[in-house]
């Protein structure tokens, strides 16, 4: 049986308006990654393989956790291009880009619905292909390890969780925007299938003096 831990990257540049500007950790994101790496080592967790997407925020998170020296990159674990999809939704029906965290929580589901409907396929890989690629990546790398550690993004995690639970994205659209930065999702591969064990766990941030570092955007 393979155990897979999928980690969302540390907090990125939350004031960004473009994909490129968002794709870097802020100081708190670097701290979150360091705390997580320290916590895993204190628990004597030792992965057999470490994989991430190719985005800068993925690699910076792995580096902060001290896994960069043996990191395997896989672009199937790259996040959806949220700003491109948002621009497409704006052109489609006039939905403005969010300017606050509360606005993001309502905007994100609208983007997902439009993307999954196929209305934005001319701007982006279709949702079903995005989900299939993410699942294939986990299963293929999981074949090479008993303990697989993955660093990716919230959209990838959302797609994996929906697949593992056998639910449609529409059934979880209210939950999906709330994947915490550097949170852990534990999966196992059993009989060739991906199964979810734990979701949105943050043992490294559960100290009373680290509550401020539980971020979503």
Per residue of the chain (217 residues), what is the pLDDT tens digit? Answer: 899 999 999 999 988 888 899 999 999 999 999 999 999 999 999 999 999 999 999 999 999 999 999 999 999 999 999 889 999 999 999 999 888 878 877 888 888 889 988 999 888 899 999 999 999 999 999 999 999 999 999 999 999 999 999 998 877 777 777 899 999 999 999 999 999 999 999 999 999 999 999 998 8
pTM above threshold 0.85: yes
Q: Is residue 145 part of a domain?
A: yes
> Is 109 inside any structural domain?
no
Domain assignment of residue 97, yes or no: no
14: its two tokens: 């939350």
In a domain, 180, yes or no: yes
Let me know: does 33 contact 182? Beta carbons within 8 Å.
yes
For residue 177, what is the domain's CATH number? Answer: 3.40.50.1240
How much is the pLDDT for 137? Answer: 98
DSSP 9: P
Adjacency order of strands within the sheet including 49-52? 71-73, 49-52, 147-152, 2-8, 184-190, 193-201
In a domain, residue 96? The reply is no
Residue 139 lies in a domain: yes
- CA 7/CA 5 separation, integer angstroms: 6
Q: What angle do CA 54, 56, 114 make, to 5 degrees?
A: 75
d(CA 46, CA 26): 27
Domain count, the chain: 1
CA distances from residue 155 to 3, 33, 135, 148 in whole angstroms, order as listed: 21, 19, 12, 19
Q: Which of 69, 51, 208 is closest to 136 using CA atoms?
A: 51
| CA 32 to centroid of chain Cα atoms | 15
**Residue of 56, 167, 154 whose CA lies nearest to 108:** 154
Looking at the domain assignment, is residue 86 inside a domain? Answer: no
* pLDDT in the model for residue 71: 97
Task: Provide the domain limits for residue 24.
Answer: 2-80+125-213
CB-based burial label for 40 (10 Å; 0-12, 13-18, 19+): buried
- Whether 16 is in a domain gets the answer yes
Quick one: pLDDT at residue 100? 81
* Non-local CB neighbours of 126 within 8 Å, separated by 6+ positions: 118
């Amino acid at each position: 049986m393979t155990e897979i831990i999928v980690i969302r990257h540390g907090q990125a540049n939350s004031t960004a308006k473009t994909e490129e500007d968002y794709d870097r950790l802020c100081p708190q994101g670097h701290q979150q990654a360091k705390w997580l790496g320290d916590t895993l080592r204190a628990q004597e967790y030792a992965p057999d393989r470490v994989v991430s997407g190719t985005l800068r925020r993925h690699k910076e998170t792995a580096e902060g956790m001290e896994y960069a020296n043996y990191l395997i990159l896989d672009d199937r674990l790259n996040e959806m291009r949220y700003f491109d999809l948002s621009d497409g939704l704006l052109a489609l029906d006039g939905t403005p880009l969010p300017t606050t965290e509360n606005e993001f929580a309502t905007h994100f589901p609208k983007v997902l619905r439009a993307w999954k409907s196929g209305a934005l396929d001319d701007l982006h890989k279709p949702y079903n292909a995005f989900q299939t690629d993410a699942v294939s990546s986990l299963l293929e790398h999981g074949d090479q390890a008993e303990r697989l550690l993955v660093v990716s993004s919230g959209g990838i995690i959302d797609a994996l969780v929906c697949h593992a639970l056998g639910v449609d994205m529409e059934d979880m659209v209210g939950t999906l925007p709330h994947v915490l930065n550097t949170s852990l999702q534990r999966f196992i591969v059993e009989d060739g299938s991906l199964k979810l064990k734990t979701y949105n766990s943050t043992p490294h941030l559960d100290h009373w003096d680290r509550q401020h570092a539980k971020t979503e955007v």
